[in-house]
Structure 1
Amino acid sequence: MIDDVLGPSIEVLFCGINPGLMSEATGHHFARPGNRFWPALHLSGFTPRLLAPAEQHLLPSYGLGITNVVARPSAKASELTREELIEGGARLAGLVASVRPRALAVLGISAYRTAFARPKARIGLQPEPVGGVPVWALPNPSGLNAHWNLAGIAAELRLLREHIGWPSRTS
């Protein structure tokens, strides 16, 4: 299990599907070298520089946090059961209601569809909130997701940042 990255004032809570084996081994979210989360986070303007997974503790100072739908690590998200995703969705809704970020960003459209029983959901702002908070379904940044490249993932994150009215932190 990998700990959530939270702080007293989280504006955007990023939510992965579940930890990969590298994340489990290191204790850092999105730790596999081919994962595009950290580069996309920077390119989208959420962070002033590219952070390494080991610097995840800095995220709350930027108003950002990270959690996962499912806590159980696996080599691939496809190893998770439907029941695990649904149970994780309920846990996530409770966490979001407690933390009250300005937005929840779920990084994995298929996991989002299953966890929240929204089979027709598309990438972007969703019509229904989760835990009383607006939710964005975003592409999974895993290197295994060949449908999206880094530029596309960063562009979707940028749309979220702009929608909530955050100025870019990149110089």
Structure 2
Amino acid sequence: MDEEERVMLEGDVPKESSFEGRLQLKNFMFMGASQDASSTSPRRSQRLSTPQLAASSQRSGSTTSGSPSKSKKRKAQPESLKEDIDASSKKPRSRKGTPSAPSPSPSKKRARPSSSYAPPSTYAHLPTLPDAIAPNLLILTIGLNPGLQTARTGHAYAHPSNLYWKLLYSSGITPIPCKATEDQTMPARFAVGHTNIVARPSRNGAELSKGEMDEGVAVLEEKCRTWRPEVACIVGKSIWESVFRVRHGRALAKGEFQYGWQEERMGVVEEGTRGEDGEEQEPWEGSRVFVATSTSGLAATVRPEEKERIWKILGDWCVKRRKEREDVVKGEPAEEA
């Protein structure tokens, strides 16, 4: 019998193994500060030892251990900090009891003059266009103002894209095709003249102001009183809008305008009216008003076929009226216009 068997039979307890190379886990256990250093029991998590009720209340938004909720944190922010936050979001807020001035919305812009407007000095180097006007006209066409090419050449409606001369012929106002270089011969040849509501040249109508267009209305009225054409043909709706605005003190209402003959007349001379020379003028019923479409190549709101249809109404009247005049010259009785 060896020594180990003898010890077991005799009931002796064997000594604890003391192998130094084995990892001793108890030496690496964390010992809590409240625990005795000699204690070998491991430290339990405080969260696991918290009652279940406290955990549920923590999930529902109530505070534990005195820590404030998120909503309370927001309320606890200093007033100055809240103003900074509001300022960064472009929504200024004032302190309690102090009214804050409304800040302008970033989407709204200050009222400024049209960026297209060009003052008269822009094209002051260009000459103005002379009127082609004379007594006893059948039609006096009234345009907006001379374009740049018209001002440079000195002839009305000189730009190649302008339909003025084409529409005069296709409507029957002129019996033969004419060119811009013939503009000054039109009153004597066909009893057709031209003028403008604004004398100064510009690149387009957007470079003019409503104010200077309105100022030109009185000049047109005086030209009609002086030369007394049978018809004042307004070449473009915008010109008639100025005439209407000056006469009635308001803009045209929706549905109030249509191309063609108008009920109002221009250059009316009432009985007892005296001219600039002080002499009493002969009463006159005024020129009939026909509003035609613009002939500019930039005016594309009306289709070409519609432009021709509208101008043809005036052309048919002109053909008939011209024949009546010729009949009067020949001694034949004239029909009513």
- Residue in 1 aligned with 2:102? none
Q: For 1:115 and 1:129, how far apart are their aligned partners in 2?
A: 11
- Residue in 1 aligned with 2:294? 140
Q: For 1:141 and 1:31, how far apart are their aligned partners in 2?
A: 11
Give yes or no for the alignment of 1:166 onto 2:321.
yes
Give yes or no for the alignment of 1:3 onto 2:130.
yes
- Residue in 1 aligned with 2:160? 33
The one-letter code of the counterpart of 1:153 is K
SS at match of 2:263: coil
Which range moved further: 148-157 or 32-41?
A: 148-157
Q: Which of 99, 106, 110 is the equivalent residue of 2:234?
A: 106
The one-letter code of the counterpart of 1:144 is L
SS at match of 2:266: coil
Which range moved further: 114-123 or 48-57?
A: 114-123
Cα distance, 1:149–1:166 mapped onto 2, change above 3 Å:
farther
List per-residue Cα deviations over 1:54-85 (Å, max 9, x = no partner). 01122111010000011011111121111111
SS at match of 2:206: helix
- Residue in 1 aligned with 2:111? none
User: Normalising by structure 2, what TM-score?
Assistant: 0.48
Larger RCO (CA under 8 A, 6+ residues apart): 1
5+ long unaligned stretches in structure 2: 1-127, 246-250, 268-285, 324-337
SS at match of 2:265: coil
Q: Which ranges of 4 or more aligned residues in structure 1 deviate by more than 3 Å?
A: 163-168
Cα distance, 1:167–1:150 mapped onto 2, change above 3 Å:
farther
SS at match of 1:47: coil
Percent identical among aligned pairs is: 32
What RMSD in Å do the two structures reach over aligned CA positions? 1.7
SS at match of 2:174: coil
- Residue in 2 aligned with 1:126? 262
SS at match of 2:217: helix
Structure 1 segment 67-78 matched on structure 2, within 5 A: 67-78=195-206
**1:156 Cα deviation after fit:** 1.5
Which range moved further: 120-129 or 38-47?
A: 120-129
Which range moved further: 28-37 or 151-160?
A: 151-160
Q: For 1:154 and 1:7, how far apart are their aligned partners in 2?
A: 27
Give yes or no for the alignment of 1:92 onto 2:247.
no
The structure number with the bigger radius of gyration is: 2
User: Normalising by structure 1, what TM-score?
Assistant: 0.91
The one-letter code of the counterpart of 1:101 is P
**1:112 Cα deviation after fit:** 1.4
5+ long unaligned stretches in structure 1: none
Q: Which of 177, 180, 187 is the equivalent residue of 1:50?
A: 177
